[in-house]
Amino acid sequence: MKATIKRFYIFILAVILSTSVFLFAGCASVTGEFFVCEFLGAPVTVSFLSPVSENEKSDLVRLIGKEAARIDGLISTENPSSDISLFNAADDGVVKVDELTYYLAETARKAYLSTDGAFDPATYNLLDLWGLTPRFLSSDYVPTAPYDRVKNPNGSFDLPAERYVRAFSLLADYSTVAVYERNGEYFLEKTIAPVEVDGTVYSQKIDLAGVAKGYLADQAKAHINRLGIAGVFVSIGGSSLYLGKTDAPWQLGIVDPYSPYRASFATVEVSETCCSTSGVYENCYYLDGVRYHHVIDGEQGVPSDSDVVSATVFGSGAETDILSTAAIVMGKDKAVAYLEGLGKKYVILTDDDKVYTNLDSIRLINQRFSIIDQK
């Protein structure tokens, strides 16, 4: 994935859930939606459509929260002591990391190669250059880096200097991150030289958030299955989901990128699965009528300007997290061919209001769009 921050709710469950407590089979049971924690700046929630005991609910919330805290502590770019922050702060050389960091970094390396660079965690320098990392979301943001600009009244930023775009594009190559194990210990190594702009040296920085949210969805699935709970819906920032076992298919809404209220433009029926959506309408700003968003094309050094507005992919969590973002950078033709080759189910929306999908169950809500059947 290009370094990305996926905030707010991209999916809308087509069933309204409300928290309730009642007597079921002679014991206290619960249904509804429960907040678990913040994870990489996004809310994690668990929803129960079928009644579970208070103990089952508490166990699941605790297990997912513990897993989220562990991952966040290892890879968050906002935590200065995380493995990834220590790697980013290093000018060069080797950084020892946790086995889980190694696993996520190696998963990302394989994805970078298989997507021909469309998924690239090494675009973090560019993401920061364009004003799209978490520090720019703060209400008390002030310019600190040499390339920072003052935030405009509408929340946008003037375009960065081209010399920074060129320089940081050189660092946007995840294949130069060496990921390896030696004698039971795990390491990340920078093998690319830093760049210098106006006398300041910048080293490569990475962000694994684009695989971590999907990985957490996979872990949530494993916990749910171990507990033997059905009818559970887990949302990680709204962009990565696990939809648990149910008697009937889930009715899942996919957000209309043009709706200010995040209304659904279509629904799909799916059974037990993980899924992820990436969209250029999240974490973005407009300057002179042009949208600049968080999905970075590392080769060009700019937010992707492909024809894909959003991409939803179904399968395992980590994989769909990666593929949904890669699809935006690839563009429709390449993304459709790539996903079809992998045998993945998907919904891709393009900037001309066309919906490309291989799902039989899709139903349009907003007739502005038209379906181009890929089956």
Alpha carbon 340 to chain centroid, angstroms:
21
Q: Is the pLDDT of residue 18 over 80?
A: no
The 3-class SS string of 301-359 reads CEECCCCEEEEEEEECHHHHHHHHHHHHHHCHHHHHHHHHHHCCEEEEEECCCEEEECC
Q: Is the pLDDT of residue 14 over 60?
A: no
How far is residue 71 from each of residues 38, 78, 149, 219, 226, measured CA to CA in Å?
A: 12, 13, 32, 11, 20
Pairing between strand 354-357 and 27-39? Answer: unpaired
- Rounded distance between C-alpha atoms, residue 373 and residue 362, angstroms: 10
Tell me the pLDDT tens digit for each residue of 171-221: 999 999 999 999 999 999 999 999 999 999 999 999 999 999 999 999 999
| Residue 44 tokens, joined | 């994690």
Q: Is the pLDDT of residue 15 over 50?
A: no
Q: Is the pLDDT of residue 277 over 90?
A: yes
pTM of the entire structure?
0.92
184 contact partners, CB below 8 Å, separation of at least 6: none
Pairing between strand 284-287 and 290-293? Answer: antiparallel
- What 8-state DSSP symbol labels residue 162? H
Contact of 44 with 38, CB cutoff 8 Å: yes
Q: Is the pLDDT of residue 7 over 90?
A: no
Residue 266's φ and ψ, nearest 5 degrees, are -160, 160
Cα first-last separation, the chain:
26
| Residue 130 tokens, joined | 């364009």
Size (the chain), residues: 375
- Rounded distance between C-alpha atoms, residue 63 and residue 42, angstroms: 18
Q: Is the pLDDT of residue 340 over 90?
A: yes
Residue 52's φ and ψ, nearest 5 degrees, are -130, 160
| For residues 344-355, average pLDDT | 97
CATH architecture of 11-72+210-373: Roll (3.10)
Q: Is the pLDDT of residue 22 over 70?
A: no
| Residue 38 tokens, joined | 């913040």
Q: Is the pLDDT of residue 318 over 80?
A: yes
Please report the pLDDT score of residue 26 as a whole number: 41
Q: Is the pLDDT of residue 9 over 80?
A: no
Q: Where along the chain do its domains lie? A: 11-72+210-373, 78-207
| For residues 266-293, average pLDDT | 95
Q: Is the pLDDT of residue 27 over 60?
A: no
Tell me the pLDDT tens digit for each residue of 64-96: 999 999 999 999 999 999 999 999 999 888 999
- Rounded distance between C-alpha atoms, residue 211 and residue 320, angstroms: 9
Tell me the pLDDT tens digit for each residue of 210-263: 999 999 999 999 999 999 999 999 999 989 999 999 999 999 999 998 888 889
Please report the pLDDT score of residue 93 as a whole number: 85
| Residue 30 tokens, joined | 């619960």
95 contact partners, CB below 8 Å, separation of at least 6: 83, 86, 87, 187, 188, 189
- Rounded distance between C-alpha atoms, residue 110 and residue 259, angstroms: 35
Q: Does domain 78-207 have CATH number 2.30.33.40?
A: no
Contact of 242 with 233, CB cutoff 8 Å: yes
Please report the pLDDT score of residue 213 as a whole number: 97
SS3 51: strand
Q: Is the pLDDT of residue 17 over 70?
A: no
| For residues 20-43, average pLDDT | 75
Rounded (5°) CA angle 290-295-298: 105
pLDDT band at 28 (very low <50, low <70, confident <90, very high): low
Of the candidates 29, 174, 35, the one whose C-alpha atom is nearest the C-alpha of residue 113 is 174
Tell me the pLDDT tens digit for each residue of 137-167: 888 999 999 999 999 999 999 999 999 999 9
